C-alpha cells in the first residue's frame, strides 16, 4: 500500500462538478495542510457556485480550462503531487443524442492527463469511474472489481475506454495509478438533470416528475460524502495498480425511489408522469464494496432515507442555486470573468 503522510498538493479535475466539488470540500476540511487546484472547463455541469464555500481559502485555486489542452495540463501537473480525475461528460441521455464530446473528454482527456503525469516524474493518478462500465445485472448478484466490462451506452463505453487507458499506463509505464468505480451518487450540488434533484426541484416548482418506462430499473445509491471519503482513502492508502469499488448497499427501483421522494415532500402518485423509456436503459446496477471495506475500514455511513432527507433539505434551502442552474443564469457571470464557457 502506498501511504502519503506529508502535505499533498492535488489537482482535482472536474472539481466544479457535483462529486468533484464535494471531494474538494472534503479534502480541505479533512486535511488542513493540503492544497487543491481545480481544473474545470465549466460546461453545463460545472458550476463555480459549487465551490463558493472554499473560494477564499488560501489552500484553494481554480483554473478554468480543458483537460484536452496538453500545454495547460502539463503546466499544472508539474506543480502537484497527485491528480484526482473526476472530469467527465456524464449524462447518459446526452451521450445517446451525441457521443462525440464524451469520447473527446472521457477518453482523449484522460490520456492527456496520463501523459502529463508520466512526463512529470510519474505523478500519482487516481481515476474516478462508474458502475455503468459493467453493464446491466440480472435480478441477483453485484458488480465487484473482477466483473467483466460490458458498457451499454456511449457514456459508459467512453468511461470504460478511459479505465483501460489508466490500466495500460500502469502495465506499460508503471505510472502509479488507481481506479475506483462507484454506484449512483446523490446529495448537495447534484446537477438537476439527474433523477433525484430533478424530481425534488420539479416538486418544489409544483411540476410532475417524469418516471421512465415501468419504473422498475434498480440502482444502488450512495451519499456523495461517503463516496468522497472512499476516494480519499484510495488516493492515500490504495495499492498501486488496483481497482476499488464503492457502493451504498442501498438498492431501490426508480418507482420506489419516486414514491419515497413524493412521500417525504408531501405529495402522492398523482404527481407521477410515466414517460417512454430511454434506449439501452440498463435494468439493474449494484456494487459490492467488500474489498474497500476490508482494505480501509470504509463503509457507507449515511442511511439512504437520512441522506435523502438531507438532500431534500439542501435543495429547499438553496433554491437560488438550482434555479440558476436550470435557467443558465450563472453562466453570464462565468463569461464575464473567464470568457466564453461553451
The catalytic residue positions are: 131-132, 155
The torsion of the CA quartet 1, 87, 165, 161, rounded to 10 degrees, works out to 130
**Chain Cα centroid distance, residue 167:** 19
65 DSSP 8-state letter: -
For residue 291, CA distances in Å to 47, 85, 136, 218, 261 come to 33, 21, 21, 23, 31
**Which residues touch 2 (CB under 8 Å, ≥6 apart)?**
124, 176, 237, 238, 239, 240
Burial class (CB in 10 A: 0-12, 13-18, 19+), 273: exposed
The Cα 288–Cα 53 span in angstroms is 33
CB 205 within 8 A of CB 326: no
Asked if residues 175 and 117 have their Cβ atoms less than 8 Å apart, the reply is yes
157 three-class SS: helix
Q: Which of these, 153, 163, 159, 11, lies nearest to 88 by C-alpha position? A: 159
Cα 30 → chain centroid: 19
With CA atoms as reference, report the closest residue to 82 among 172, 191, 2, 184. Answer: 2
3-class secondary structure, 263: helix
Task: Bin 212: left if φ > 0, else alpha if -120 < ψ < 50, else beta.
Answer: beta
Give Cβ neighbours of residue 336 (< 8 Å, ≥ 6 apart). none
What residues pair up with 246 in beta bridges, in sequence order?
182
Amino acid at each position: 500500500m502506498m501511504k502519503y503522510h506529508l502535505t499533498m498538493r492535488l489537482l482535482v479535475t472536474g472539481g466544479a462538478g457535483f462529486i468533484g466539488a464535494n471531494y474538494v470540500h472534503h479534502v480541505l476540511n479533512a486535511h488542513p495542510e493540503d492544497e487543491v487546484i481545480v481544473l474545470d472547463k465549466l460546461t453545463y455541469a460545472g458550476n463555480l457556485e459549487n465551490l463558493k464555500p472554499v473560494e477564499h481559502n488560501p489552500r484553494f485555486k481554480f483554473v478554468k480550462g480543458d483537460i484536452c489542452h496538453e500545454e495547460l495540463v502539463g503546466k499544472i501537473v508539474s506543480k502537484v503531487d497527485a491528480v484526482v480525475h473526476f472530469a467527465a461528460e456524464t449524462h447518459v441521455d446526452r451521450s445517446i443524442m451525441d457521443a462525440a464530446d464524451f469520447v473527446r473528454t472521457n477518453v482523449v482527456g484522460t490520456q492527456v492527463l496520463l501523459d502529463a503525469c508520466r512526463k512529470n516524474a510519474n505523478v500519482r493518478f487516481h481515476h474516478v469511474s462508474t458502475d455503468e462500465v459493467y453493464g446491466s445485472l440480472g435480478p441477483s448478484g453485484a458488480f465487484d472489481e473482477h466483473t467483466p466490462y460490458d458498457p451499454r451506452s456511449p457514456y459508459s463505453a467512453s468511461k470504460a475506454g478511459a479505465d483501460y487507458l489508466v490500466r495500460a499506463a500502469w502495465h506499460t509505464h508503471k505510472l502509479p495509478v488507481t481506479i475506483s468505480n462507484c454506484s449512483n451518487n446523490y446529495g448537495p450540488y447534484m446537477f438537476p438533470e439527474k433523477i433525484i434533484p430533478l424530481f425534488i426541484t420539479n416538486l418544489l416548482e409544483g411540476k410532475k416528475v417524469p418516471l421512465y418506462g415501468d419504473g422498475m430499473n434498480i440502482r444502488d445509491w450512495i451519499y456523495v460524502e461517503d463516496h468522497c471519503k472512499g476516494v480519499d482513502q484510495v488516493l492515500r492508502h490504495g495499492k498501486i495498480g488496483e481497482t476499488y469499488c464503492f457502493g451504498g448497499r442501498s438498492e431501490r427501483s426508480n418507482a420506489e425511489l419516486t414514491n419515497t421522494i413524493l412521500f417525504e415532500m408531501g405529495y402522492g402518485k398523482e404527481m407521477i408522469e410515466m414517460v417512454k423509456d430511454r434506449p439501452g436503459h440498463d435494468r439493474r446496477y449494484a456494487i459490492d464494496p467488500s474489498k474497500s471495506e476490508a482494505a480501509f475500514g470504509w463503509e457507507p455511513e449515511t442511511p439512504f432515507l437520512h441522506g435523502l432527507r438531507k438532500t431534500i433539505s439542501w435543495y429547499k434551502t438553496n433554491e437560488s442555486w438550482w434555479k440558476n442552474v436550470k435557467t443558465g443564469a450563472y453562466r453570464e457571470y462565468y463569461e464575464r470573468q473567464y470568457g466564453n464557457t461553451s
